Amino acid sequence: MRVVHADDLKDPIHVEDARIVGSLNLEGVRLEHPLILRDCYVEEEINLCQAEIPRVDFSGSHLWGLDAEQLHTKHDVDLREVVTTGTEIALTGARIGGCLLLVDARLSNVNGRAFRATGIEIAQDVYANGLRAAGEVMLHRARIKGDLSLPGARLFNPGRTALELSYAEVGILACTGLTATGAVHLSGSRLDGDMLLGEGKLANGTGDALSAIGLVVTGAAFFQDFTAHGSMILDSADIGGVLDFSEAELSGLNAVWLKVGQNAHFIDVMCSGRVNLTGAAVRANLLVLSTKAGAIHAASLTTGQDLVIQRCEITGDIGLDDVRVGGQLRLTEIRAATLSADALVADKDLTCVLRTSGDVWARGLRVAQDATIQGEYEGEVALLDTTVGGRLDLGAAKLDAADLEGVRAAALRLPRIQAPTSVNLTNAKVGTFEDLPDKWPTQLGLRGFTYDVLDHDHAPVKDRIGWLQRNPGGYTPGVYDTLAAAYKRSGRLNFVRKVNIAKQWFRRNEFGPLGKLWNWLLYLTVGYGYRPNQAILWLAGLLGIGTAVYWQADRVPTGQVVQAFNPFVYALDVLLPIIDLGQEKAWVVKGAAQWCSWGLIAAGWVLTTAVVAGLTNALKRD
């Protein structure tokens, strides 16, 4: 390698394989020919500030430093395989008419900036394939009309910023296989194409590995097989195409108010922390498949089509409050601690197959079609004030308690594999109610629960009345009225009478001793008015007893002219207080028969009162 003094260099400058000593100061100069120092060793910093040079080629050279702020070129700046040690390359405010080439460059300025190009304008592409940089690479507010390619690049600046690309304008950002130790900043930038970070590895300890707040990508964003040790922040980012995190390994993802123009894929993702999609908007499908995460928070999320979370293991909670799903919502084959879905709206079906160690809570859930809840739930499943346009199917294999207060559904199906301990249906309203007698819950809240059709109305009415007694809180007349109305709609009028009788029978608990006695008499005599024919049996029995007693009784006439004594007519005259057949006035019985008369009179009044009450429907009031 020959030695060349910087003062000996004249325009045009084209030097190869030389050692350049002295200061090369071209500040503010205008050259007509390219500046070429190829495979050279330059001992002092090169100054190209505010210079105008057609093309700069330092490829293969070892530079002490390069200060080229406000440099203007018509063509490329070639820094391929350039090596720096302990200094920086500065291109702040430069305007490059061609490409910036940093392929296989080795830049080192530990704890400082290895490459500084704030506000640079590049008319074509930046190629930095295989770049190695120890120190910060700064392209803050860069304007790159072409693509920025960093495949296979290795950036090292631990605990600090490895790549600063905030508020920049770039075409495609191609960073496949990028390795960065330190933070990568893309906040506020705009990419007029795709963002390719597949197979990339970012690490920044407990800090942010990637910060891209407000990033705009008009194309797709690919993070397949991507690794980030440190948080990823995509808050308020706008991805015009697909967002793909397939097979990514993350410490945590914050994507609050993220917008995705097409599908968003989280497939085979490993996230040791939380995936936060609060307020995100996905125009098509959001798929979370075979993923492991600490938690998923997606309150106020919206999807234009389906939301699918399937075959996932979530060690913490899943939060889907205020979510709006334009298609189907499928939460299947999931292990999680808890699930919250207050005010969630699904425009099609909901399928939920979970294994939870805690509660499932969903107040105000709205499902346009069918909703199926299956799986195993250690805690309570609460679907308060839920509205389902089709069938709500609680087909869970293991469900200990369900709170369905205020539910509205076209049909409701209770668990059929294992009977839950309690189900609360207070103020629920369904069209068809499907249950199985051998799977009835031990405790069943039925106050205010209404249904039009009982799917299993063939169950013995005695058992169904016992089913009503599982309602806590004592006598509740409405539950009997609802059951009777359902039987009436199905034409089972005999069942209707039995239910109404049971209603009045259990009503006795509200009475004192005399009321309970009267309740008992009404039950025995006329079945509370629902069995008036029962009074005929009592009448016949009492007439038979009276006739037998009066047949052998001592009797005397009450006047000189009397009608003939007839034991049957005499008993009937005594028994019916509102009828005068003349026998009781014409004859007086003595001895034990007189006691029988008093008994028949009392029984007659009781029986007549009960019959009148039944005929006037007085006993049918609650």
pLDDT band, residue 618 (cuts 50/70/90): very low
What whole-number distance in Å separates Cα of residue 478 and Cα of residue 501? 14
pLDDT in tens, 38-52: 999 999 999 999 999
Task: From 14, 169, 28, select the one nearest 78 (Cα to Cα).
Answer: 14
DSSP 269-313: -EEEEEEE-TT-EESS-EEEES-EEEEEE-TT-EESS-EEEEEEE
CA distance 102 to 112: 19
Q: How far apart are CA 147 and CA 143, in angstroms?
A: 10
Q: What is the pLDDT of residues 369-390, one digit of tens each?
A: 999 999 989 889 999 999 999 9
pLDDT value for 619: 47
Distance CA 92, CA 86 (A): 18
**Residue 529 clears pLDDT 60, i.e. is over it:** no
Amino acid at 402: A
DSSP state of 404: -
> What's the rounded Cα separation, in Å, for the pair 193 and 170?
8
CA distances from 128 to 93, 105, 132, 152, 470 (A): 19, 8, 9, 9, 74
> In the predicted model, is pLDDT for residue 86 greater than 90?
no
- Tokens linked to 478: 């409405």
Which of 157, 158, 154, 166 lies closest to 201, judged by CA? 154
Range of weakest confidence among 214-228, 256-270, 595-609: 595-609
Q: Are 136 and 162 in contact (CB under 8 A)?
A: yes
Residue 21 in tokens: 């000593």
Contact (CB, 8 A) for 228 and 202: yes
Per-residue pLDDT at 239 exceeds 70: yes
Which of 220, 258, 266, 253 has its CA nearest to residue 237?
258
Q: Is the CB of residue 191 less than 8 Å from the CB of residue 217?
A: yes
> What is the DSSP secondary-structure string of 190-248?
EESS-EE-TT-EEEEEEEEEEE-TT-EESS-EE-TT-EEEEEEE-TT-EESS-EE-TT-
In sequence order, the β-bridge partners of residue 38 are 16
Contact (Cβ atoms closer than 8 angstroms) between residue 112 and residue 134:
no
pLDDT score of 220 more than 90: yes
Least confident of 195-199, 431-435, 614-618: 614-618
Confidence of residue 461 (pLDDT cuts 50, 70, 90): confident
What is the model's pLDDT at position 525?
Answer: 60
Residue with the larger pLDDT of the pair 104 and 482: 104
Task: Count helices and strands (H / E) in the chain.
Answer: 8, 63
> Cα–Cα distance between 230 and 122 in angstroms, integer?
31
Residue from 173, 67, 190, 72 nearest 122 by CA: 72
pTM score of the predicted model: 0.82
Instruction: Report which of residues 522 and 567 the model is more confident about.
Output: 567
Per-residue CA distances from 399 to 403, 420, 430 (Å):
11, 5, 21
Length of the chain: 622
Give the span between the Cα atoms of 214 and 218, in whole angstroms: 13
pLDDT tens-digit map of 592-615: 767 776 676 677 666 666 666 655
Quote the pLDDT of residue 491.
Answer: 78
Tell me, what's the pLDDT at 438? Answer: 81
Confidence check: pLDDT of 226 > 60: yes
- In the chain, the amino acid numbered 386 is T
Backbone region of residue 385 per phi and psi (left: phi > 0; alpha: psi in -120 to 50; beta: other values): left
The burial class, CB within 10 Å (0-12 / 13-18 / 19+), for 463 is exposed
Give the side-chain half-sphere CA count within 13 A for 58: 24
Give the helix/strand (H/E) hosting 504. helix 493-507
pLDDT (tens digit, 9 = 90+) per residue, 434-460?
A: 888 888 888 889 899 999 988 876 778
- Please indicate whether residue 461 or residue 194 has the higher confidence score (pLDDT): 194
Q: What confidence score (pLDDT) does residue 237 get?
A: 97
CB count in 10 Å sphere of residue 39:
15
Cβ proximity of 622 and 616 under 8 Å: no
Dihedral sign computed on CA atoms, order 198, 204, 207, 212: negative
297 pLDDT more than 70: yes
> Which residue ranges make up each domain of the chain?
370-510, 529-620
Backbone dihedral region for residue 182 (phi beyond 0: left; psi -120 to 50: alpha; all else: beta): left
Please choose, from the candidates 167, 151, 265, 250, the residue with its C-alpha nearest in 3D space to the C-alpha of residue 214: 167
pLDDT at residue 274 in the model: 95
Average pLDDT estimate for 584-598 = 70
pLDDT exceeds 90 at position 187: yes
Determine the distance from the C-alpha atom of residue 159 to the mean position of all C-alpha atoms in its chain, rounded to a whole number. Answer: 37
Q: Which two tokens stand for residue 132?
A: 């190695």
Q: Is 173 exposed, middle or buried (0-12, 13-18, 19+ CB in 10 A)?
A: buried
SS3 70: coil
**C-alpha–C-alpha distance, residues 5 and 348, integer Å:** 78
pLDDT band, very low/low/confident/very high, at 488 (cuts 50, 70, 90): confident
- Residue 93 confidence (pLDDT) above 90: yes
